[in-house]
Amino acid sequence: MRLNYLANAVGLTLMYIGLVILSPICVALFYNETNAIIPFLTAAIISGSIGFSLRKFVPKASTLENLNDIKKSEALFIVASVWIVFGLVASIPYLFFGLNPLNAIFEAVSGITTTGATILTHFDYPHAFFFWRSLTQWLGGLGIIVLFIAVLPQFAVAGRQMFFAEAPGPTEDKFTPRIRNTASALWKIYLGFTILETAFLIWAGMPVFDAVCNSFSTVSAGGFSPHSESIIGYGSDKITWIVLIFMFIAGVSFNLQYKVFATKNPFILFENEEFRAYFGMVLLMSGLIALSLFFHNGFDQIKNIMHSLFQVISITTSSGFASVDFEKWNYTSKLLLFLVMFMGACASSAGGGIKMARWLVVFKSMKSEILKILHPNAVVNIKIDNKTVPAETARQIVVFVFFYFLIFGITAMLMSIIEQNSAIGLTGAISSLGNIGPGVATATGPLGNYDHLHFLSKIIYIFNMLVGRLELIPFLVMFSRDFWTLKD
């Protein structure tokens, strides 16, 4: 890897992150919260200074006009580095509001990875604080690299490698000839849904500030809310349905969303096999939970349907919002929700988790192997949407799922031992790795928080959140010795 390329890309990104961090200052000035200006100004200066120093003092870094011949290993390193440094820089403002360093990093990483797990024990903070929490999720939902590919000319060509290193899900699709135009189109769709949801929430009676923050967190499948009781606290079925619909949209592939807008044909969604699996599993699991609630708790069936749909979509898309305290549900319903944590949304969406596309390939690979056992000479191709999945791609997906469950198993065991609580260990491991947020354990449920966890559990959680958002690969390749061979 070439050090000057790394320094140039990371430094440039940090300089622009510094500008983004200034935005909460506008909120602080609007609400006359002058005490909230210094935290964000300090973070912006630090980010900008580090970025400037990397480009200025690393030999040959500042002389690079573009990164067009960047290598895949360099792109992976840049993406991983940017996310780690972004998490550290994003945590700086929290230090000024009384959070200790580990808790500040936890909250920041939970934000940028759109996990939505919080360590906050109270919500007595200024508006700028909550705006920053939601903004970090909005930036992380589509990707900070994708944003800069869309706006920075230096990333216009080299952005392809970094785009696919950061993009969530097993895809190599781009729906415009130029990767920069693809990134721009993604942000237009993303911004459009954000504005649309904000308008609907204001119409439904939500305060304007809350509507903006909750929209940031919904379209990014994040889950941070300025209300201490999440969506429960607004006490409105209308708001619940609006957030539910936009969460579902957040879990749909951006590529597919673009095709819907381009063709003006919403029925094209059901021509996509992954969307049908996503839609079908949401209906199936929601239906099972609604029935479980009806037979065990006897709640109003209309409410059961709404809340089961909301929670299944929230967890499937890794949004982490709550419309009800599901810790009060019966055991069967909570067990079903735990299973939902392993589903994941569509590839190339804002949602986290394993992704439906991977599950389709895994199950079709299993079916293929069974057929080969019965018919050894048969040639069985794995197809998605009538397109053959290359054997190499199928193998990579199976390996990905293996490593996913390996990391889940190891971190679940470690957290269970550290916390002496298997429920916290199991749900904490999958909720962090899947960027889901709340667990199904009482202490870390929808109305709980992670402040009480042992500091080692918090470190594991932070690791899982980053690995889950970047989907393992940028981190796994870092264990290769060749990866760390630096050149001028």
Average pLDDT over residues 313-334: 89
Is the separation of the CB atoms in 135 and 129 below 8 Å?
Answer: no
Taking the domains of the chain in order of start, what are their residue ranges? 3-177, 389-484
| Helix, coil or strand: residue 357 | helix
> Bridge partners of 387?
384
Cα 261–chain centre separation:
23
Give the range among 87-101, 233-247, 261-275, 472-486 with minimum mean pLDDT: 472-486
Q: What is the pLDDT of residue 463?
A: 93
Residue 465: both structure tokens together = 């959140």
Q: What is the pLDDT of residue 145?
A: 65
CA dihedral sign, ordered 216, 222, 226, 232: positive
Is the separation of the CB atoms in 201 and 239 below 8 Å?
Answer: yes
Residues 6+ away with beta carbon under 8 Å from 419:
425, 428, 453, 454, 457
The yes-or-no verdict on residue 279 having pLDDT over 90 is yes
Among 467, 439, 19, 79, smallest CA distance to 223 is for: 439
| Model confidence pLDDT, tens digit, residues 339-397 | 999 998 888 888 888 889 899 999 988 888 888 888 877 777 888 888 888 888 888 88
Q: From the CA atom positions of the chain, what is the Rg in Å?
A: 22
The yes-or-no verdict on residue 486 having pLDDT over 80 is no
Which range is most confident: 112-121, 154-163, 277-286? 277-286
Average pLDDT over residues 59-80: 67
- The whole-angstrom separation of Cα 479 and Cα 176 is 34
> Bridge partners of 138?
none
| Model confidence pLDDT, tens digit, residues 220-262 | 998 899 998 899 999 899 999 999 999 999 999 888 888 888 8
The yes-or-no verdict on residue 65 having pLDDT over 90 is no
- The whole-angstrom separation of Cα 330 and Cα 327 is 8
Which range is most confident: 13-22, 75-84, 371-380? 13-22
- The whole-angstrom separation of Cα 397 and Cα 274 is 15
- The whole-angstrom separation of Cα 320 and Cα 197 is 17
Q: What is the pLDDT of residue 187?
A: 83
Cα 382–chain centre separation:
28
| Percent of all residues in the chain with a pLDDT value above 90, rounded to a whole number | 43
Residue 194: both structure tokens together = 């954000």
Residue 167: both structure tokens together = 């993009």
Q: What is the pLDDT of residue 349?
A: 86
DSSP assignment of 155-214, as one string?
Answer: GTTTHHHHHHHHSSSS----SSSSHHHHHHHHHHHHHHHHHHHHHHHHHTT--HHHHHHH
pTM of the model: 0.90
State the chain's mean pLDDT as an integer: 85
